[in-house]
Structure 1
Amino acid sequence: MTTTPEGAQQPQTQQDPRAKHQDEFPAHEDIGQPGLTSQTAPDPDHGEESYVGSGKLKGRRALITGGDSGIGRAVAIAFAREGADVAIVHLPEEQEDAETTLKLVREAGQNAAAYAQDLRATDAAETVLQRALEDLGGLDILVLNAAYQRKRSGIDETPIEEVQRVFDTNLISHIALTKAAVPHLNPGSAIITTTSIQAAGPAPPLFDYAMTKAAQVAFTEVLAQELTPAGIRVNAVAPGPIWTPLIPATNFPEDKVESFGSDTPMERAGQPAELAGAYVYLASEDASYTSGAVIPVTGGKPFTGG
């Protein structure tokens, strides 16, 4: 126990990060894309029971792509509990997950909206952006989080249409949505991209995914130079191995899923809730002098850039 200046005892909250989550992952056969929370065991921790807000984003309005599950849901929960209204984008097949995220945002007392939209479609970015502006009454935070990845057997066996899907989802849709959003962002707004440890330490089975994640680092750094003089901050979060529906949907070997995250210095995978604070920081006034940065949340794996 610790003692406050007023003499009241408070529980000790400092915790060994190695032991915070000790999940055992079963052998997972490929669940296919898109991965759904109901198909992911054990359930990812999105902060449903643990995240407590303190008003850091009160009055803000956020649009999160890939906000139905995994990291996107954790960010939506945290933003809502920090006082932000939240709109999310998800694939039509992810409707059930999206409804759960909406419920959690509304339970936090915030406005919520969801758009079932494949962002690769023609004019999808403009359509989603316009709906968000109407539903939220404006936009202050854009989180570019939607992603697609699949394990590759080798470059000679990878269909070009699959590579195109990765690039269209992870890069082109982000560029299109940012292009549509920037004219509506005022000074003090924030753009946050979800890149990856793959940007710094690419693995051959994810060569196309890793390429897009390295490009996202460059996108973040270049866009920060362009938009920071206008008062718009641009940053990124680089997750390491995080347990989300994307993992059993990647077609990894079963033993790879069972040992997921064990190669980090913490010897475990991270949970989506453990990234939420990084996004809150980058979206908040606490990060008023932070632009062009990449925050690694990697369980101790080094990140040295794309």
Structure 2
Amino acid sequence: MDIQSLFGLDGKVALVTGGATGIGRMACEALVRAGATVLMASRKGDACEAVAAELNALGASGKAIGFAGDVGSEAGVDALVAAVKERTDTLDILMNNAGITWGAPLGDFPHKAWEKVMNVNVAGMFDLTQKLLPMLIASGSVDDPARVINVGSVMGEREMGDGAYSYSMSKAAVHHMTRILGKELAGKHVTVNALAPGPFVSKMTAFATHDEDTREKVGKDVPVGRVGRDEDIAGCMLFLCGRGGAYVTGAIIPVSGGINVMSGPNIFEQALH
């Protein structure tokens, strides 16, 4: 068994939305290092171009191309699809990573926080996937299907509002979308899986991960004792996108350090001591 053939991505073409920062950037670097050509899109096209230049300076076998793209509206999705088609005739991997959040306490959570978050995190993700399906289906085969990787959250898996109600519920929708599309697209040689991350360093979590001391404090509340690292995302991406993950679809991968299996205290603890 050739390990490189299981996880290498030479010749593959990927699109990563929200690719300039956080989990998206971690994924882009992993894909480039594995040999893929990675199209990186986010609302800040200049940031994507800058990160693409950084990745291309690594001397890896793949390459990155950065440009602007917004999945927050139907027009934005259509423009992104057109931009992708201008840059490639084939698409093997789609990572739906772009997402936004909104924080406010229960009782003050505004109505407008639902439309904005759901438009990006759910409607935009579905619409982009739907409109890129012809390219994905064309590149997939029974032995090497095309891949869709959706980014959900452990907050969509556990009963965690934490002031981000529309975000948490949107990520639960992402997980259900992943299972539905995993079922419907399996016969078309497209696998659909999702990551459900816990705390990682990103702009979205900057309030809790902006420095080493704060990250250490947050990590103490994670069962494995730390926040997520770049290699945690890289390992998942290379598995799900490489030949080694070709037989997996509809899965929600809990990249959360055990938060996904946290529960309440032992109800018999006092009686046993």
* Range into which the TM-score falls when normalised by the shorter chain: 0.7 to 0.9
Aligned mates of 1:99, 1:168 — CA distance in 2? 27
Output the amino acid matched with 1:129: V
Specify the alignment match of 1:192 in structure 2. Answer: 149
Q: Does 1:164 align with 2:115?
A: yes
CA contact (8 A) 2:35 2:62 kept: yes
Residue 82 of structure 1 deviates from its aligned partner by 0.6
Structure showing greater relative contact order (alpha-carbon pairs closer than 8 Å, 6 or more residues apart)? 1
Output the amino acid matched with 2:178: T
Output the amino acid matched with 2:51: T
CA contact (8 A) 1:55 1:81 kept: no
Residue number among 120, 130, 134 corresponding to 1:183 in the alignment = 134
Matches within 5 A, 1:9-158: 56-92=8-44, 95-96=46-47, 98-105=49-56, 107=58, 108-154=60-106, 156-158=107-109
**Identity rate, percent:** 29
CA contact (8 A) 1:76 1:105 kept: no
Higher relative helix content: 2
Residue 77 of structure 1 deviates from its aligned partner by 0.5
TM-score w.r.t. length of structure 2: 0.83
Q: 1:229 to 1:68 in 2, by over 3 A?
A: same
Describe the superposition over 1:52-95 as per-residue Cα deviations: whole angstroms up to 9, x where unpaired. 99961111000001100111011101101111000011112x63
Residue number among 219, 233, 241 corresponding to 1:261 in the alignment = 219
CA contact (8 A) 1:296 1:303 kept: no
Output the amino acid matched with 1:159: P
Q: 1:196 to 1:303 in 2, by over 3 A?
A: farther
Question: What secondary structure is seen at the aligned counterpart in 1 of 2:35?
Answer: coil
CA contact (8 A) 1:133 1:139 kept: no
Residue 129 of structure 1 deviates from its aligned partner by 1.9
TM-score w.r.t. length of structure 1: 0.74
Structure 1 stretches of at least 4 aligned residues deviating more than 6 Å after TM superposition: 52-55, 255-258
**Structure 1: which 5+ residue stretches go unaligned?**
1-51
Aligned mates of 1:258, 1:208 — CA distance in 2? 27
Output the amino acid matched with 1:179: Q
**Structure 2: which 5+ residue stretches go unaligned?**
263-273
Describe the superposition over 1:122-163 as per-residue Cα deviations: whole angstroms up to 9, x where unpaired. 322222123223313311100000111132211x31222222
Output the amino acid matched with 2:183: Q
Aligned mates of 1:289, 1:146 — CA distance in 2? 26
Is the deviation greater in 238-247 or in 68-77? 238-247
Output the amino acid matched with 2:66: A
Residue 102 of structure 1 deviates from its aligned partner by 3.9
Aligned mates of 1:230, 1:97 — CA distance in 2? 31
Specify the alignment match of 1:8 in structure 2. Answer: none
Output the amino acid matched with 1:198: M
Question: What secondary structure is seen at the aligned counterpart in 1 of 2:25?
Answer: helix
Q: 1:277 to 1:119 in 2, by over 3 A?
A: same
Q: 1:220 to 1:90 in 2, by over 3 A?
A: same
